[in-house]
Amino acid sequence: MTAPGNQPRPRVVVVGLGPAGADFVPASTLEAIAACEHRYVRTLVHPSAHLVADARSFDPLYERSERFDEVYSGIVDTLVEAAQTHGEVLYAVPGSPLVLERSVAMLRRDERVTTVLHPAMSFLDLVWARLGIDPVEAGVRLVDGHRFAVEAAGERGPLLVAHTHANWVLSDMKLAVDDGPQDDEVVILQQLGTADERIVSTTWSDLDRTVDADHLTSVYIPRLSAPVGGEYVRFHELTRTLRERCPWDREQTHTSLARYVVEEAYEVADALAAVGDDPDTVTPDADDALMSELGDLLYQVELHATIAEQQGRFTMADVCRTVHDKLVRRHPHVFGPDAGERTAEELSASWEEVKASERDLGASPFEGIPRSMPALAYAAKVLKRAERASLPLPSVDDLPLVDLVTADLAASDLTVDELGRTLLAIVAAARSAGQDAEAALRTVVDEYRQRVDAT
């Protein structure tokens, strides 16, 4: 190919450094490296990178970029500019330049340069040898770990997943599979062809907890009992993208987002009330509103999990696993050895027993009751827990009731209307006095809680 004006296009000579050490790099590749004066290597984090002497690495570009797309575009632009300056440059990549090398694929499409490829051995050859399978006969599909949810959508295996260089990638893969095939077998392959080679069989549930993933890690999935589900992970990826690229999302913290969790929960409650309990009377508009509000609440959960993931604390997969295991523990009548039919009263008692066993010994009887609940709900929850623990309850007779209401609050025949009017009158009196009824009730309940805890 020639550029306009019959001038030869500048060339980018691309070589692969094989799957591991120098033993896997042929003489023809070494000759191509020696023939180019200006050399670039995608990353120095590879056992054969030292073969490309005096090369410029793109590792700093990885470190300062927020997205891989930025890295690949930056690599291409740098190589094209260098080729236009020098006429020819060398670009060395791990493995084979034709296997999962997006920067090479972009170079081949770029009309500003001519790309010359030198074939190389891929990590795939070592994978098939270690697994002892014929990938064509077995019908193995190769997918990118960063795009697992999209590329493996609807698949059940066998799959070989590359670019699984970090445990968060493994966590995202787990999230992509509907219904959590916890016991499905997976094989993790690390450092193939090196002295530190490891091949570990594990289960899907332990995929992100078995090894410390690195740049020479891949995962073989013989079969999934549940197909890969793309919708949730597509949403999960969107949350991460917004966190990285949207100025508002990027600045949020757990504290700044706390009020939105509460607001979205209230909006879900309103949508649930509009839907009601009779499926025959639910309108499409009500369902649409409920779906929208549930999505808004889910986004808050995703945001908090993404913040934690970015700080290296936990991931959304950890959140899902934690609530899964908690629900299994709290439903021994479903998952336990004595599973069977029980009454609602028996289930309620069992539920409270399991919850109590999860709390630390010696902890407050009010452990786990959030102080940020609405004051009335908070008061009711504290009193219920106190009653269950046979703790002394505050007496209505001891409270300095004001003479604004005529209803006897201690009467057993107090109606809902009378109770509501009484509460409304108290709130009105508080407003007239310049007081916050919500804050006042919360303060008194906190004081009661502290007195009990101190005894």
Per-residue tokens: 364: 């407050």
- The answer to whether residue 251 sits within a structural domain is no
Measured CA to CA, the distance from residue 434 to residue 455 in angstroms comes to: 34
Q: How far is CA 146 from CA 171, 374, 379, 390, 420, in A?
A: 11, 42, 48, 54, 55
- The answer to whether residue 301 sits within a structural domain is no
Return the percentage of the chain with pLDDT > 90, whole number: 38
Whether residue 85 is found in the same domain as residue 191: no
Per-residue tokens: 449: 């809680």
- The answer to whether residue 449 sits within a structural domain is yes
- CATH number, residue 111: 3.40.1010.10
Least confident among 52-61, 71-80, 218-227: 218-227
Per-residue tokens: 34: 């020696």
Alpha helices in 41-177, H assignment, sequence order = 59-64, 68-86, 102-109, 123-131, 135-138, 148-151, 167-175
Give the end of a domain, one of 206, 230, 254: 230
Average pLDDT over residues 71-77: 92
Average per-residue pLDDT for the chain? 83
Q: Is the pTM of this model over 0.85?
A: no
- The answer to whether residue 323 sits within a structural domain is no
Q: Which residue has the higher pLDDT, 293 or 6?
A: 293
Summarize pLDDT for 304-313 with one digit per residue, the tens: 999 998 888 8
Q: How many domains is the chain partitioned into structurally?
A: 3
Residue 13 has pLDDT above 60, yes or no: yes
Whether residue 58 is found in the same domain as residue 115: yes
> Given the structure tokens 């009158």, which residue do they identify?
425
Give the CA angle between residues 391, 396, 398 to the nearest 5°. Answer: 90
Whether residue 7 is found in the same domain as residue 93: yes
Whether residue 160 is found in the same domain as residue 217: yes
Whether residue 105 is found in the same domain as residue 173: no
Which DSSP symbol is given to 117?
E
- The answer to whether residue 349 sits within a structural domain is no
Whether residue 112 is found in the same domain as residue 16: yes
Residue 362 has pLDDT above 60, yes or no: no
Whether residue 108 is found in the same domain as residue 168: no
Summarize pLDDT for 218-249 with one digit per residue, the tens: 999 998 877 666 677 778 888 888 998 899 99
Q: 162: domain range?
A: 126-230
- Three-state DSSP class for residue 343: coil
Whether residue 21 is found in the same domain as residue 114: yes
Query: E-assigned strands of 255-387?
Result: none
- Three-state DSSP class for residue 436: coil
Give the end of a domain, one of 178, 207, 230: 230
Measured CA to CA, the distance from residue 47 to residue 207 in angstroms comes to: 25
Whether residue 152 is found in the same domain as residue 87: no
Whether residue 156 is found in the same domain as residue 185: yes
Whether residue 449 is found in the same domain as residue 422: yes
Residue 235: which of 183, 173, 176, 167 has the closest Cα?
Answer: 176
Measured CA to CA, the distance from residue 170 to residue 362 in angstroms comes to: 38
Of the ranges 260-264, 315-319, 427-431, which is most confident?
Answer: 260-264
Measured CA to CA, the distance from residue 222 to residue 117 in angstroms comes to: 32
Give the pLDDT score at 269: 87
Residue 379 has pLDDT above 70, yes or no: yes
- The answer to whether residue 310 sits within a structural domain is no
Measured CA to CA, the distance from residue 275 to residue 292 in angstroms comes to: 13
Give the end of a domain, one of 210, 230, 250: 230
Write out the DSSP string of 196-259.
Answer: T-EEEEEEGGGTTTSS---TTEEEEES--SS-B-HHHHHHHHHHHHHHHH-HHHHH--HHHHHH
Measured CA to CA, the distance from residue 107 to residue 223 in angstroms comes to: 35
Residue 192 has pLDDT above 80, yes or no: yes
- The answer to whether residue 286 sits within a structural domain is no
- CATH number, residue 213: 3.30.950.10
- The answer to whether residue 214 sits within a structural domain is yes
Whether residue 153 is found in the same domain as residue 55: no
Beta bridge mates, 440: none
